[in-house]
Structure 1
Amino acid sequence: MNNYTNDNTARRYKAHVSIYGTTQLHLKNPYIIAWWSAAFPGFGHMLLSKYLRGYVLFIWEVVVNVKAHVNSSMIYSFQGNIDMAKEVLDTRWLLMYIPVYIFGIWDSYRTTVDLNKVYLLAEREEHQFNSFSLGALEINYLDKRNPFLSVMWSLFIPGLGQLYIHRILTAFFVIIWLVVFYYYSHVQEAVVLLFLGKVKEATSVIKPAWLLFIPSHYGFAVYDSYINTIENNKLFEKDLRNHLTKNYQSKSFQILKGQKVK
């Protein structure tokens, strides 16, 4: 496959392949993206490949959530201890938390709607994009990957599925924060104690406020790797089809609608 570069000769491109990963436009459901932003601010934007905005919102969520004791309050609420849930909240941090949380949901929804429109315009323009990137640090190229393997590796360790499909920036970010969540929640210590049959010790060592971050982290890693594997496969097939049509198909070849080939 030829190596093209996005040289800004077109108004819009559907995709860009670099040593850091494959970034592409494709139709997304705004409600699903907004839901991921509600589940964890920053995830919706990362699904849109808006990495800088997503990283800022993600880090904001972790820092302010911990300072405001939002997760701790949620745990007390689940236990039916509403008075303690109110008491543990730090309103100084909470009043900063709520507006940014709402903004993340609204902005991811709005951006999804806009990017869907951009994708439709880029699809009509059908400008060639680079499909192979060779650099001193990495090699990246369009090819087909197995979505099942993406999910499997993400379930083992979040971030490995992204490494499998060469989403380097997301992979590093997810893996680094997984280590942070593991460390402060003491979940791995608790697992070892459970294997040893020490249930009370395992329960006492765990930090629930940090533990609540982990399910969303796993869910995002699985969903992101699965969806992007499928979309990358579609992009590869279409790029290959266009390449073969342009370079190998006879110009006189026609498909006549409504006529049977004898």
Structure 2
Amino acid sequence: MNNYSNDNSARRYTAHVSILGTTQVHLRNPYIIGWWSAAFPGFGHLLLSKYLRGFVLFTWEVVVNINANLNVAMVYSFQGEIALAKEVLDTRWLLIYIPVYLFAIWDSYRTTIDLNKIYLLAEREQHRFNSFSMGALEINYLDKRNPLMAVMWSLFVPGLGQLYIHRIVGAFFVIVWVVIFTYYSHALEAISLLFLGEIEGSTAVLKPEWLLFLPSAYGFSVFDSYINTVENNKLFDKEQRNFLSERYQSTTFHILKGKVSE
């Protein structure tokens, strides 16, 4: 353990670098986090790096949504077929969907406010955190990366943007679920038929109950990779600035009224 590792000598830390990724707290808009939870329960918590809670809520959303036929009912609603939408809904599943859905929004909003307070307190403590982690399977370190590259890779395949910035846990989870959504929605099969000019066949093979999950997965992957790339870059600048100040800045250096004085 080096002098820059999290040695639990402080009450709070702003960041932690491990072989599985860089986890940090920073100021977030609780309304945006709440909105992502409303778009897809679990996403708000994943943005906060609350992985276990996010995985539970995400999996719950998929299982209950599929069994309640919620996405199918949404498709009928978009087409103006309100009667068919009501008919396909399974109330045995739908009634347990609502309270957990509301909890996901409320809890992510509440947690964001709490983490914002923790960040402000951690900033006052200014405790050093590790910036390099090496293990038998991986190496992770603070580095500056291009946010647009993270967005580009996320648009190709959701999860690749997270891999680019070394968010291994989130990347693995997103990639696995995107493969599941793509396979069961027959999205690639529909695209192949579309290229062949078979529009009716392309539409017929699609499974809307699985297809409607994909836009949320793509949107989340792009947003998450972009935001975390930007915040990781800020964290790198901050850690580098503190290191240089401690090691190389003269103890007599100070600034008075906007002027440098030695």
TM-score scaled by structure 2?
0.97
Please give the secondary structure, in 2, of the residue aligned with 1:152.
Answer: helix
Q: Which amino acid letter does the alignment assign opposite residue 10 of structure 1?
A: A
Q: Which residue of structure 2 lines up, in the alignment, with residue 113 of structure 1? A: 113
* Residue pair 2:68, 2:93 contacting (<8 A) in 1 also: yes
Where do 4+ consecutive residues of structure 1 move more than 3 Å?
Answer: 258-261
Distance verdict in 2 for CA 1:15–1:257, change over 3 Å: same
**What is the CA–CA distance in structure 1 between the aligned matches of 2:21 and 2:53, rounded to whole Å?**
17
1:4-31 residue CA offsets vs partner (Å, 9 max, x unmatched): 2212100000000000000000000000
1:118-142 residue CA offsets vs partner (Å, 9 max, x unmatched): 0000000000011100000000000
**What is the CA–CA distance in structure 2 between the aligned matches of 1:193 and 1:71, rounded to whole Å?**
23
**2:217 aligned with 1:217, yes or no?**
yes
When structure 1 is superposed on structure 2, of 124-133 and 4-13 the one drifting more is: 4-13
TM-score scaled by structure 1?
0.97
Q: Which residue of structure 1 lines up, in the alignment, with residue 127 of structure 2? A: 127
**What is the CA–CA distance in structure 1 between the aligned matches of 2:260 and 2:118, rounded to whole Å?**
38
Q: Which residue of structure 2 lines up, in the alignment, with residue 88 of structure 1? A: 88
**What is the CA–CA distance in structure 2 between the aligned matches of 1:254 and 1:118, rounded to whole Å?**
29
Map residues 174-213 of structure 1 onto 2, 5 A cutoff: 174-213=174-213
Structure 2 unaligned runs (5+)? none
**2:14 aligned with 1:7, yes or no?**
no
1:79-132 residue CA offsets vs partner (Å, 9 max, x unmatched): 111111001000000011110000000000000000000000000000001110
* Residue pair 1:68, 1:90 contacting (<8 A) in 2 also: yes
* Residue pair 1:3, 1:132 contacting (<8 A) in 2 also: no
Structure 1 position 255, deviation (Å): 1.7
Distance verdict in 2 for CA 1:256–1:45, change over 3 Å: same
Please give the secondary structure, in 2, of the residue aligned with 1:255.
Answer: strand
Map residues 40-189 of structure 1 onto 2, 5 A cutoff: 40-189=40-189
Q: CA RMSD in A?
A: 1.1
**What is the CA–CA distance in structure 2 between the aligned matches of 1:157 and 1:49, rounded to whole Å?**
21
Map residues 224-239 of structure 1 onto 2, 5 A cutoff: 224-239=224-239
1:153-187 residue CA offsets vs partner (Å, 9 max, x unmatched): 00000000000000000000000000000010000
Please give the secondary structure, in 2, of the residue aligned with 1:60.
Answer: helix
Structure 1 unaligned runs (5+)? none
* Residue pair 2:254, 2:260 contacting (<8 A) in 1 also: no
Map residues 241-252 of structure 1 onto 2, 5 A cutoff: 241-252=241-252
Size of the aligned set, in residue pairs, is 260
